[in-house]
Structure 1
């Protein structure tokens, strides 16, 4: 099939560094392994920085013009898509194109990682949330990555609209390196951008947790950079001197190699959507210590590849970390299980098989809807 692939939040091939761009690229690669032709929808960035009605009106006007242009192009003979696929449709980046164009062309409409927010339906974001809900009602198949997202999508599970689990997955060009033993104290590592919001909150939380176990024997490497680096560095300044190595922003290949030089991946993940970095760390053979927050549990096997503390329980988190620091055999056992889990179960091939199932179902749903509409018209 020819698939129109729309990413309202960010153009996935614009060179930016973010988890949503990376997952979008992985989805495209998985779809292409199935033999589909994937054509990115060249729309402007649809992120809404505020709930200002004027901002939404401008985005709507831009989308209406682009929609008219795309439909005119398809009518003029430019190859039209057989299916519309939107990735990451939510209240700050609602899909203003897909439902209307899919209806006009009579083609299936599919989403991945769409989400709904009951809270946002009754605050200043209500208009944007209503757009998201319109697209959810129009869908033939919605792929969800986490159980949290599934819960939000449940009201739209109905005849003709399916919800299918697509667990977070990760692709590697070459087999990732294996964890390497070393001398000296256990090495912790974390990887995250240093920006406002959830990332900064997790960094500040990690600094407080490590202060609780300052007497334990460990070193921490931090990979990442961003606008809030000075604030984050200040949060770690009270820890014993020489414990923290600031590695900055490094290429993915080098990041994988750094992971392999360490023993435990530690990242609180406060309200994390899911976090591909958890899969990367496990792929090289590191156990994970994190909060059971957001979609983190969708990326690990709790108790087997990771120790998850209740969200916000910094005492429990510190206890898990100390237990891991003191038990090398446990670290190695969990690390080996983590590598098997990611390389066997969270692969491009597994994702492609699930996508194939969903696209086939979406085509059947759309065909049934067209036939039902034709019968009603008759």
Structure 2
């Protein structure tokens, strides 16, 4: 199929790395691996940081310009077979695809769309209504988590829903066996206000409770809250913490292979691609049983998920893996098998192809 791909939150070509950009790129790669002709049809970023009407009006004007441009292009060169919209939600609704799909009578598909009743106020109520309309129009809405599926099903009962488990490109992890550095804790996370800063804060508090153990922590990440993040760890021995800043995505696997346990509380995580990457490198995970994290970490099998907000429990889970080598090794092996066998790009591509084949034949 010829697929028009659009990510209103962040284009796969966006210069700033993030989990959203990474998943957009992997979806494109998965679609192309099955022979689909995938074109990223617009670079317009439909993200609204705050509910400001003036900004939204300007965005809608730009979206209409994109609709006009693509309409002219398709009328001249032929239309695609399907529109694929990645991650439309209240802060980044798809303002282009639904109208074009309707005008050119092609299937409209979303992946990782979400809906939250808590956001139905002010301008967000308007943008969520647009998301709901696009989800209802869609021939298929591909959900990555059961939480998102439930949210869509409750808000839009007529929505056509399918499941695709979060996945990563495991090719960088296949040839290198796990290495053992059990006392080296590692994490990969952006440094920004909100949930990320809250997770760093919880991690710092937890490490403060296990100072009697010989751990070190290596952190990959940077961002506008860097000074706030480092201040949270000021009470811990500086020689135990290594701040590596931002690194290229291609360097992340080698970094993870140098660790022993992946530690990240995960406030607000949709699911967390980094958890899958860590497990692919053979690192058991310590995280919270919160948001979408249980979709990518199996409690007691590939890591430990602790009660939300319970710093003592989080610290105890880290201590358990630091002091029980046999258990840590067993979880390490299970974590690697889980991702390589069940969450690879090849597995996801097959599932995605099956889902889209049903859309094409309907």
TM-score, length-scaled by structure 1: 0.92
- The answer for the alignment partner of 1:47 in structure 2 is 47
- The answer for the alignment partner of 1:373 in structure 2 is none
- The answer for the alignment partner of 1:145 in structure 2 is 144
Q: Per-residue CA shift, 1:98-141, capped at 9, x if unaligned? A: 11111111111100000001111234411111111110111110
> Of residues 322, 329, 335 in structure 2, which corresponds to 1:325?
322
SS of equivalent to 1:125: helix
Asked if 1:224 corresponds to 2:221, the answer is yes
- The answer for the alignment partner of 1:92 in structure 2 is 91
SS of equivalent to 2:74: helix
Asked if 1:316 corresponds to 2:313, the answer is yes
Query: More displaced, 119-128 or 129-138?
Result: 119-128
Contact 2:51 2:122 in 1 (8 A): no
Distance 1:246 1:353 in 2: 39
**How many residue pairs were aligned?**
360
SS of equivalent to 2:326: helix
Distance 1:251 1:209 in 2: 28
> Of residues 331, 334, 338 in structure 2, which corresponds to 1:337?
334
Q: Rg: which structure is higher?
A: 1
The CA RMSD over aligned residues, in Å, is 1.5
- The answer for the alignment partner of 1:375 in structure 2 is none
Asked if 1:28 corresponds to 2:33, the answer is no
SS of equivalent to 2:223: coil
- The answer for the alignment partner of 1:78 in structure 2 is 77
- The answer for the alignment partner of 2:204 in structure 1 is 207
The change in CA–CA distance for 1:253 and 1:62 in structure 2 (over 3 A counts) is closer
- The answer for the alignment partner of 1:133 in structure 2 is 132
> Of residues 161, 164, 172 in structure 2, which corresponds to 1:163?
161
Distance 2:256 2:43 in 1: 36
Contact 2:143 2:161 in 1 (8 A): yes
Contact 2:170 2:280 in 1 (8 A): no
Distance 2:73 2:180 in 1: 58
Q: Per-residue CA shift, 1:61-114, capped at 9, x if unaligned? A: 211222122112222x21311000000100110001111111111111100000
Distance 1:8 1:212 in 2: 42
- TM superposition shift of 1:234: 1.1
Distance 1:330 1:173 in 2: 27
TM-score, length-scaled by structure 2: 0.96
Contact 2:46 2:93 in 1 (8 A): yes
- TM superposition shift of 1:176: 5.6
Distance 1:201 1:317 in 2: 14
Contact 1:176 1:284 in 2 (8 A): no
SS of equivalent to 2:27: helix
The change in CA–CA distance for 1:255 and 1:74 in structure 2 (over 3 A counts) is closer
SS of equivalent to 1:281: helix
SS of equivalent to 1:16: coil
- The answer for the alignment partner of 1:264 in structure 2 is 261
Distance 1:347 1:241 in 2: 37
Distance 1:300 1:152 in 2: 21
- The answer for the alignment partner of 1:255 in structure 2 is 252
Query: Once superposed, which parts of structure 1, at least 4 consecutive aligned residues long, lie more than 4 Å away?
Result: none
Contact 2:276 2:339 in 1 (8 A): yes
- The answer for the alignment partner of 1:283 in structure 2 is 280
- TM superposition shift of 1:181: 2.5
SS of equivalent to 2:113: coil
Distance 2:357 2:307 in 1: 39
